[in-house]
Amino acid sequence: MGNNQTEKAFEEKRLAQTISLAEEQLKQAKEAADKKKSEIIEAKKDVRENTEHGITSLYTSDGFEALVELSQYINPVTDKIIDYEEEEHKILLLEKMIKSPYFARIDFKFDDEDEFEKIYIGRSSLRKNSYQEMYVYDWRSPIASVFYRFMTGEAFYDAPCGRVTGELNLKRQYEIKNGTLEYFFDSDVQIVDEFLRQLLSQNTTAKMKAIVETIQHEQDVVIRDMENDLLMVQGVAGSGKTSIALHRAAYLMYQGLQTKLSANNIMIISPNSIFEQYISNVLPELGEDNVISSVFEDILSELLNGRKIQSRNDFLENLIVNSKYKEISRNSIEFKTSSFFREILDQFLIDIPRQWIEFEDVYYEGKCVVSGQILKDKILGRPETPLGIKLEQLEDYILEQIFGTGKGRGHKEEKNLIKQEIQKFIKIDIVELYKILFSNEAYFYSLLQNSNPSQNIKNIWKYTKENLEADSLYYDDAIAIAYLYLKIYGTNKYKNIKQVVIDEAQDYYPLQYEIFNFLFSNAKFTILGDMKQTLAKKEDISFYEQIQKILNKKKSSLIMLDKSFRCTNEILNFSLKFIEQSSQIKSFNRNGDSPKVYIADNSEIFIDEIVKEIKLCQEKGFQSICLICKTEKNSTYLFNKIKHKLDIQLIKNGSVSDLQGVFILPVYMSKGLEFDTVLICDADSQNYHDEDDKNLLYVACTRALHKLSLFCENEVSPLI
């Protein structure tokens, strides 16, 4: 079918019918919501009028009966609120649908039928009523996968009842804005690529957008995977890993209608708070509640009871900046997060009750009620029970030996005195325990099972000892202490999490995956990374084997995404000089300006060139202009030099800001983000000169969609 007047008239009529149906259902939903709102108000009034006596009686002898009475009134209110919220969600979806009800259509003939059925696909579904025809299919429905995976010809999709086969003879895409059909076209490979090329040529937005209209075949495979307990995705820069992860979360929630999986059962581990904010609109845009999102250092802080620890960004600053701490910082985290150090920690855990807890005899009224040796023996038994739980049970055992098990026996004051006395070996301070490893040198080396440790380990031990004595809890030590905490106490906080998505997975270390395995023991995992974008360490494809071994899931798979959709050909080709095996990365083939390198003789010319480039980008209409520096120190220096010349914001550790306009940030905070234009503003030989710096330059360059420029003062980096 061509885009002729007959077809246009048909499509406009179909669109009008769809919008009319959505408007009718919207009217019904609003009426239902108003009715439910009135019912809630009335029900709350009943609670106030009929349970006043019951509420005041909650703390009397009749409190239980009052509580039962109260619940009889409150439970119906809660149910009505849930119903009202469902109607409000329905209203939101219908309002979005009226503006743009669908983006695609496929004509599909099932093998056992004679005629092709027109299947319209949108961001959410619309049916005439519970039993009549489906007007619009949700993009996550099984049949919609045909649109993403096949061109015309034989096709199939997997449904709950099994594989469904048939023939596809039309793929049509639409541009519908505010209820008006702008245009449509019938797809083949060449046209689809041109449509995507036009979309990619547009300016980016302050927050990541949904990509349901342009999901590629290989991306759809990842999004819809329900077979694997551990799905690992190795994707090159610009391959859409983060978008895939979020659309996968939306797909899992759609499937959750059958599997009882909701937004509070999914956790996304983000690299930093800026990234969290950047992705925050995608799921709501798809009509879903936002899932739980967390940054790893926030998890650390929770496990360590809010104790102040060094942020990941500050630690990365130490790993990247050219200073005397760079090598020792890197050696330290690589050692403390390795499987070798985990074995040391495991042996230390065995030794804690044997030699690092001083069990004392417990006296009551001048008599020894229970000896320290008996207490120690009780702790050393039942090795399958976590140490923390056994110590808590020890308190009950001691009180029982003194006061017996009868209700009310013993005086409260006496019990409190006994509890205070035994707290010194019942209560564990995890940080103080950890300090033992780096205060007792002979014991530490004995755990290495090597009487002659390397100079590197000696340096790490001394470096850590000095930090801990200064009461500084560095990021790598916090990871090790969190591992000890989980082994000693365990946690049930995340037991409801059934799916975990970890983005920028290559930047985490083995011990962090051990922690993920503890925290999310009931969950399936989606792991997304790119070994070429690893920060401050060396990784290759075997890293996924380590993850697989640690998480130890029944069924796992590694999927490779080798096509970049973000950068123009010129930017991607320039970026590839910084990594090895660049031939494995395919470009989507979008052309643009070649990157330029500006070398200034002095700081005044250097700043003027940057300001001139920013203004040129603004004149071209670019919405996000990002100045990337190697470190936060460099970013702050440049910001202070340039802030009086134009409107610009500095993004650093702890910043929460929309990525719009002109801004400066360090390279490690740009991970996972993209910008219309990127200016790398410290591309000199002092900042970028070794193998590690190549990865940083690759990350920085591949953030740019349309334009890339590099600036340096005096000598340009030899890597460029």
Tens digit of pLDDT for each residue in 628-667? 999 999 999 999 999 999 999 999 876 667 788 999 999 9
Confidence at 325, pLDDT banded by 50, 70, 90: confident
Residue 654 labelled as part of a binding site: no
For 510, the enclosing helix (H) or strand (E) is helix 510-519
For residue 79, the model assigns a pLDDT of: 75
Distance CA 630, CA 535 (A): 12
**CB 522 within 8 Å of CB 498:** yes
Tokens matching residue 411:
């005086």
Residue 146 labelled as part of a binding site: no
244-272 exposure pattern, b = at least 16 Cβ within 10 A, e = fewer: bbbbbbbbbbbebeeeebbbebbbbbbbb
For residue 634, the model assigns a pLDDT of: 95
Mean pLDDT of all residues in 543-570:
95
Q: What is the pLDDT of residues 1-56, one digit of tens each?
A: 445 789 999 999 999 999 999 999 999 999 999 988 888 887 777 666 665 544 44
For the cut 70, the answer to whether the pLDDT of residue 571 exceeds it is yes
Distance CA 42, CA 34 (A): 12
Distance CA 568, CA 303 (A): 44
Mean pLDDT of all residues in 250-258:
83
For the cut 50, the answer to whether the pLDDT of residue 582 exceeds it is yes
For residue 590, the model assigns a pLDDT of: 87
Tokens matching residue 565:
């959709």
For the cut 80, the answer to whether the pLDDT of residue 377 exceeds it is yes
**CB 707 within 8 Å of CB 617:** yes
Distance CA 556, CA 553 (A): 7
* Cα 201 from chain centroid (whole Å): 27
Write phi, then psi, for 410 (nearest 5 degrees): 80, 150
Q: What is the total residue count of the chain?
A: 720
For the cut 50, the answer to whether the pLDDT of residue 581 exceeds it is yes
Partners of residue 401 on adjacent β-strands: none
For residue 412, the model assigns a pLDDT of: 75
Tokens matching residue 10:
């048909």
Residue 212 labelled as part of a binding site: no
Distance CA 562, CA 573 (A): 14
Share of the chain above pLDDT 90, in %: 64
User: Which range has the worst mean pLDDT, 218-232, 308-322, 609-623?
Assistant: 308-322
Residue 237 labelled as part of a binding site: yes
Mean pLDDT of all residues in 416-424:
80
For residue 609, the model assigns a pLDDT of: 96
Q: Which residue has the higher pLDDT, 140 or 84?
A: 140
Which distant-in-sequence residues (6+ apart) come within 8 Å of 633 by Cβ? 317, 321
For all residues of the chain together, what is the average pLDDT? 88
Q: Which of 548, 534, 469, 466 is nearest to 505 (CA)?
A: 534
Sign, CA dihedral 674-675-678-682, equals negative
For the cut 90, the answer to whether the pLDDT of residue 323 exceeds it is no
For the cut 80, the answer to whether the pLDDT of residue 196 exceeds it is no
For residue 8, the model assigns a pLDDT of: 92
* Cα 242 from chain centroid (whole Å): 9
For the cut 90, the answer to whether the pLDDT of residue 91 exceeds it is yes
User: Which range has the worst mean pLDDT, 177-186, 386-395, 580-589?
Assistant: 580-589
Confidence at 261, pLDDT banded by 50, 70, 90: confident
For the cut 90, the answer to whether the pLDDT of residue 243 exceeds it is yes
For residue 71, the model assigns a pLDDT of: 57
H helical segments located in 652-702: 691-701
Query: 224-352+427-560 adopts what CATH topology?
Result: Rossmann fold (3.40.50)
For the cut 90, the answer to whether the pLDDT of residue 558 exceeds it is yes
Q: What is the pLDDT of residues 128-148, one digit of tens each?
A: 876 678 999 999 999 999 999
- Considering 202-216, 447-461, 566-580, the range whose residues carry the highest mean pLDDT is 566-580
For the cut 80, the answer to whether the pLDDT of residue 538 exceeds it is yes
For the cut 60, the answer to whether the pLDDT of residue 58 exceeds it is no
- Considering 68-82, 565-579, 645-659, the range whose residues carry the highest mean pLDDT is 565-579
For residue 61, the model assigns a pLDDT of: 47
For 71, the enclosing helix (H) or strand (E) is helix 63-99
For residue 26, the model assigns a pLDDT of: 95
Residue 324 labelled as part of a binding site: no
For residue 187, the model assigns a pLDDT of: 79
Judge: domain 567-711, CATH 3.10.105.10.
no
Residue 240 labelled as part of a binding site: yes
For residue 288, the model assigns a pLDDT of: 86
